[in-house]
């Protein structure tokens, strides 16, 4: 078999395999779940936001990229919360004290209408199915059924804002 025939057969096999994987998963889109407690002790469940587009942002207190993204996301949240949109912060710091400090600062810096729910992922009672987070920040945009629209590891990009905006309709 020559190189061209080999590459063509590999490509055809890959397409057939990916098609069968897609067919096996068709109609079985993963629906995300989250159960946590915000800083005031209130239970936060993703299912409480059924029918809303949700931006779930995993962040750490000392991450400059996270700080910048959350500032921009807060502005988007304020401008679009009336369009069935919610921003949900999930802190992944090892120590809850860092989240508490972050929330003290945001409570003083932002009016209540600009604050979004935040939970601490390392709380023993916290449960979610977002998997391992290796990059901060990591953002998940979920549709109204809480299925993944897209995921961004690292800073939110220009096209992400467009895609987020389009997901609201």
Q: Which CATH number fits domain 31-167: 3.30.70.1380, 3.40.30.10, 1.10.390.10, 3.20.20.70?
A: 3.40.30.10
**Residues belonging to the chain:** 169
Q: If we measure between CA atoms, which residue out of 48, 44, 120, 55 comes closest to residue 87?
A: 55
Task: Quick: pLDDT tens for 26-63.
Answer: 445 789 999 999 888 899 999 999 999 999 999 998 89
Report if pTM > 0.85. Answer: no
Task: Quick: pLDDT tens for 103-137.
Answer: 888 889 888 888 899 999 999 999 999 999 999 99
Give residue limits of the domains in the chain.
1-28, 31-167
Task: Quick: pLDDT tens for 50-96.
Answer: 999 999 999 998 899 998 999 899 999 999 988 899 999 999 999 98
Integer Rg of the chain from CA: 19
Average pLDDT, the chain: 84
């Amino acid at each position: 078999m020559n190189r061209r025939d080999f590459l063509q057969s590999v490509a055809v096999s890959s397409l057939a395999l990916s098609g069968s994987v897609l067919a096996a998963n068709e109609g079985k889109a993963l629906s995300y779940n989250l159960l946590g407690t915000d800083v005031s002790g209130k239970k936060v469940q993703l299912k409480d936001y059924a029918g809303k587009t949700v931006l779930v942002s995993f962040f750490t207190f000392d991450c400059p990229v996270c700080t910048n993204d959350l500032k921009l996301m807060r502005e988007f949240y304020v401008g679009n919360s009336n369009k069935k949109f919610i921003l949900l912060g999930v802190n992944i710091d090892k120590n809850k004290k860092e989240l508490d400090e972050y929330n003290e600062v945001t409570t003083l810096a932002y009016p209540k209408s600009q604050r979004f729910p935040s939970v601490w992922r390392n709380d023993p009672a916290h449960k979610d199915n977002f998997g391992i987070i290796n990059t901060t920040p990591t953002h998940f945009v979920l549709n109204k059924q809480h299925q993944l629209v897209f995921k961004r590891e690292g800073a939110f990009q220009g096209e992400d804002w467009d895609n987020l905006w389009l997901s609201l309709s």
